[in-house]
Structure 1
Amino acid sequence: MGIVVVGGHTRNIGKTTVVEQILRATADLRWTAMKITQFGHGVCSANGEPCDCDTGDHTVAISEERSRDRGTDTSRMLAAGSERVLWVRTRQGQLAEAMPRIRRELASATNMLFESNSVLRFLKPDLYLAVLDEAVVDFKPSALRYLDRADIVLTADGRLPRPEAWPGVSAALLHNKPVYALGHALPAQIEQAVRTKCAGMT
């Protein structure tokens, strides 16, 4: 089994689009896809949108996507060709409580594709893709923590962000990493990297 992680420094910068592109290009690898959302601090536990609805009544929620046409991130993943799609929601900093279920899913999956940074605390993927957009100032601590582990970087123009884009984020973390442009289709080099890491592990 192969494990691929797609992460990024913040929300709404194209992570789900990259996940969709991987699924469409390599559907024969029989993916289980998983989106992980940490709620609290103004992020909704129901839909991942900004809000103040977190009540603290639960720490983990896991649901399986059944619809291909709802327009949500998980629905898009299912429509793109994933055999199964799960949405894991945990309170900020409490992903460990969901890991027993996540590991059970890993044990039964042919190949696993995560949209998450935080899962890198618990798993060593076969391939980690980091999506970066220097036009967006926010940089999550979890993204910074694991940035040096990225195997491939994707940006809007296929170039590494300027060193001054994010104060406190060292350009050395991205030194010598291959960079590709976000576009309408998955770059052939990334498809090949995914297949090299996962096709022989099924």
Structure 2
Amino acid sequence: MAVVVVGGHSRNIGKTSVVEGIIRGLPKMQWTAFKITQFGHGMCSANGEPCDCVTAEHTLAITEERDRTSGTDSSRYLNAGAIRSLWVRTRTGDLAEAMPRIRRELEHTENAILESNSILRFIHPDLYLSVLDPAVVDFKDSARLFLDRADAVLVAEGALGRPEWKGISLKLIAGIPILAMRPPVYVTEAMLEFVRTTLHK
């Protein structure tokens, strides 16, 4: 079994498109895909809606996506060819509570691809790809914490230039391969070859 993690430093920078592209580009891998979302105060982990609940049963939810038409990220995984797609939702900082279920799911998958940074606190994947957008200032703490563990960083057109990030040293990715994304094509043949080669070493 191979485990791939796709993370990134902010929202809306192409992480889901990368997961989609890998699933679509490597269909023989029979992927089980995981979307991991951590909600902050005021959002319910059970359904992702605004919520003021503080009860324990609303701290974790895991659902299997079955609707290919919903437009959600987990639906996009199915449309790309994933054999299963799971949406894991926890409150920020409570991902550990979901790990027993995630580990059980991983034990019964052919190959897994997970969209998350924080999951790296609990598993050591065969491949970790970090999506970076130099034009987006926001940089999640989880992305900063694990950036130097990336097997490759994915950047539009492969150019970092002078990033807008504050307090992030490019020394963290010195020597790490930089793979070009070419939106709307986020996963190129060169990137797929990198994934294949890394997973079959």
Q: Against the structure 1 CA distance between its residues 42 and 141, is the aligned structure 2 distance closer, same or farther, given a 3 Å change threshold?
A: farther
Counterpart residue number, 1:82: 82
The answer to whether structure 1 residue 171 and structure 2 residue 170 are counterparts is: yes
- 2:152 is equivalent to residue 152 of structure 1: yes
TM-score by length of 1: 0.90
Aligned to 1:39: 39
Partner of 2:113: 113
1:20-35 → structure 2 map (5 Å cutoff): 20-35=20-35
CA contact (8 A) 2:14 2:131 kept: yes
Are the equivalent residues in 1 in contact too, given 2:65–2:87 (CA < 8 A)? Answer: yes
- Secondary structure of 1:22's counterpart equals helix
Counterpart CA distance in 2 for 1:15 and 1:120 is 16
1:26-60 deviation digits (Å, cap 9, x = unpaired): 01110000010001146563665xx7435233211
Task: Return the letter of the residue paired with 1:194.
Answer: V
- 1:168 deviates by 1.1
- Determine if contact 2:24/2:81 at 8 Å carries over to the other structure: yes
Structure 2 vs 1, CA of residues 166 and 105 (structure 1 numbering), >3 Å: closer, same or farther? same
Q: Is the 8 A contact 2:44 2:53 kept in 1?
A: no
With 188-197 and 89-98 compared, the bigger mean Cα shift is at 188-197
**Equivalent residue number for residue 15 of structure 2:** 15
Alignment counterpart, residue 56 of structure 1, candidates 32, 51, 54: 54
State the aligned residue count: 197
Q: Distance in 2 between matches of 1:103 and 1:195?
A: 23
- Equivalent residue letter for 2:17: T
* Whole-angstrom distance in 2 between the partners of 1:178 and 1:93: 30
The separation in 2 between residues aligned to 1:15 and 1:44, in whole angstroms, is 23
Give the % identical residues.
Answer: 59
Task: Identify if the C-alpha distance between structure 1 residues 67 and 52 changes in structure 2 by more than 3 Å, giving closer, same or farther.
Answer: closer
What is the alpha-carbon distance in structure 1 between the residues aligned to residue 47 and residue 18 of structure 2? 20
Partner-residue secondary structure (3-state), 2:166: coil
What is the CA-CA distance between 1:12 and the residue it aligns to? 0.8
Q: 1:44 to 1:158 in 2, by over 3 A?
A: farther
5+ residue gaps, structure 2: none
Number of the residue aligned with 2:194:
193
CA contact (8 A) 2:35 2:115 kept: yes
1:100-128: CA deviation from partner (whole Å, max 9, x where unpaired): 00000110000000000000000111111
Letter in 1 for 2:187: L
Cα offset for 1:180?
1.9
